[in-house]
Structure 1
Amino acid sequence: MVKYKLFSDNKKEIKENLRDLKVIYTDLDGTLFNDKGCIVKDYRGDYYFDAIRLLPAVANKNWDIVLVSGRSKFQLKYSAQIIGLKNYIAELGAELVYNLGEEVYITFDKRELKYDLASKGKDLLEIIKLFKNNFPDKIESKMEWSRHKSYSAVFFGEINLDKANMLLEDKGYKGLVMVDNGISLLEDLDLRVKKMHIYNLMPVDVNKANGIKFDKKIRNLDTDNCIAMGDSPEDLKMAGEVKYFFLMGNALEHKEVILDELDKYNNVYIADGFMNRGWAEIIGYLTD
């Protein structure tokens, strides 16, 4: 089993090595927000304002916080506006947005996308039916969850991802992939699951790491200029594009998957705190 590294045990060295930091890429739900999508409450549902209080300190250092999420660019615009941010990467890396929508870049070759994943799209409806038939009472997707999305769709539940992706390939959808974007309580559903996960159906060439790579190229950023933060196996892919990647303590709820994936990286550190408490633990130390 891979032994993971704690931020608290290595924070002095990490801070020393981040003198050239310019950009903080952060996931939302389960990271900057709690698992119900709230920034001012913690994982227990208690009011918690430390993450909000740190935003001025980040701004004073001229660090840019970039939201990286499965949400659409329209949803992220309002999330960013509420907390005074302006740049974000939407649909798990499919779109890069600057200044609340003034500039929008598609990060992959959409000419290769042969499937209709828009709300009520033919392919999306077929895939929802496919998954529900093969994972009865284990997965759900509703049209309103994917409204305003162009390149991905949202599912909630708990399924075997390897089997799900084999089903996609067998049914002619080999250009698509289903990924785990973390444990979530955003929706209260009557499903037979132990832990509710949020899944994203998306093109195989799209992920958060590629979104970061695209941003680094446009803004001429070096890897040493960047850190990223998240809580899910999908978030962990961002580690390949940044100096350091920080997992929130709640990421260990995916321990059986996360620990296997950690072996691919040597720059990942885990916070003691869960969700926005972990976020504040790390950013609070770096800004002090």
Structure 2
Amino acid sequence: MPLALLALAVGAFGLGTTEFVMMGLLPEIAAGNEVSIPTAGHLISGYALGVVIGAPALTAVGARLPRKTMLLGTMALFTASNLVSALAPNHETLLATRVLAGLPHGTFFGVGAVVAASLVAREHRAKAVSMMFAGLTLANVVGVPLGTLLGQQVGWRWTFVMVGLVGAAALVSVAALVPRQPAPRDAGMRRELGAFRRPQVWLALGIVTFGFGGTFACFSYITPMMTDVAGYDAGSVTWLLALFGVGMTIGNLLGGRLADRALMPSLYGFLAGLALMLGLFAFTAHDKVLAAATIFLIGVTGFAAGPTVQTLILD
């Protein structure tokens, strides 16, 4: 695997940390901004809204730019917006900065997946994409638990400072390691939007929307569920988040390898397993051991489907 994939993984690590660390810090941020936990949950939705708006918009606008330039630009925006989040004086301002931080998320992963796939032979594309996404999953093993612990012990603002520093490291890594590629030929907004004339593209996006919607609905409120329902104390949230991250990492690497061998059968199996685990969680959430085991398996099945769907869309 090319060394440039490491730089992409560092960027994915930063994006994954800022995306998922909010789940671990909801009680602290809610208390700090004097709002309820459901209201603080809007910060998760706000980031997702930024992803929804920014992913197609920035990708289409920057279609004529070299891909390395796009990666550097999105990572610079990500770094700046997280550092600004650390200074937000109230909930409304923090919500606005979360939307801003979400804008480059989808574009970085979209362009990064294309770059990762272009660096290796065709039969290794899914594995290369999974190596980039390993940064996202490892963020849940290291970045999210560390950011949660930092926010609980020192203050949630320092978590955003930490994420901003990771973004700066990713910016340097991409600049140093990712090879400069020429801008795509005949690129433009009309050609980008032309992909949506294909029904298969819409069906693939539908898999993403409905396949992963349950995962995020579940994981967004993992902290109150594991403390108020399963019975864990607040200090256990750190290792529970890490356990979910380990499951994500295993699933992501497994999915990349199986997708290169049998794309659609792997996708069927992973989505069926994810549906089963999410359904079981309604019952296992009331037991400490079973709840922890189910969270781990949701991570495995959910993120094994990630590189599989990415490769399907690339096809």
Provide the TM-score with structure 2 as the length reference: 0.22
Higher helix share: 2
Higher strand share: 1
Provide the TM-score with structure 1 as the length reference: 0.24
